[in-house]
Amino acid sequence: MAQLRPNNLTFILMHVLALFMIFTSKLAIAIGETLNIENFGANPNGETDSTNAILTTWARACSSTTPTTIYVPKGKFLVSDSVVFKGSCNNNDITVNIDGTLLANSNYDVIGKEESWLLFEDVDGVSIIGNGFLDGQGTSLWDCKRSGESCPMGAT
């Protein structure tokens, strides 16, 4: 039987530790509640306003006492107005997992006078993860600014 040298033992222990960390992080996500915004009425067609469905999902996650993931699946979800995700929440372990796209209104006058499009206020323990996108659709506002016209400042 081959004898393990300290370098080999360290290598094995590091891999075991890494696997343990991956397993426990996946388990922690699985233990909490996952709220899919489509189950609250969000529509992934990029045209139907999903703002109320997203805010309803947020309210449910915020009032929960268990770790909660708000899931944005693949698709384009129109968030037509500026939105404030308000606390103070019972839950200090909320993950927003975005695999789709949250899409701002293409008419910059709708949110252009606001300071923010999406704002988290008075909340702790919120994480945003995923492979999705936040699309502010700023092209028309930038075109306006380049033209020298009087344009709103624009939300961030």
**pLDDT tens per residue across span 50-90:** 999 999 999 999 999 999 999 999 999 999 888 889 989 99
pLDDT for residue 143: 78
Residue 70 lies in a domain: yes
Q: Tell whether the model's pLDDT for residue 38 goes beyond 90.
A: yes
| Domain region containing 144 | 46-156
Q: Is residue 153 part of a domain?
A: yes
State the average pLDDT over residues 20-48: 78
Could you tell me if residue 8 is inside a domain?
no
Number of domains observed in the structure of the chain: 1
81, 111 Cβ separation under 8 angstroms: yes
Q: Is residue 39 part of a domain?
A: no
Q: Is residue 31 part of a domain?
A: no
pTM (global) more than 0.75: no
Residue 9 placed within a domain: no
User: Is there a domain that residue 67 lies in?
Assistant: yes
At 152, the pLDDT band (50, 70, 90 cuts) reads confident
d(CA 39, CA 145): 39
Q: Is residue 89 part of a domain?
A: yes
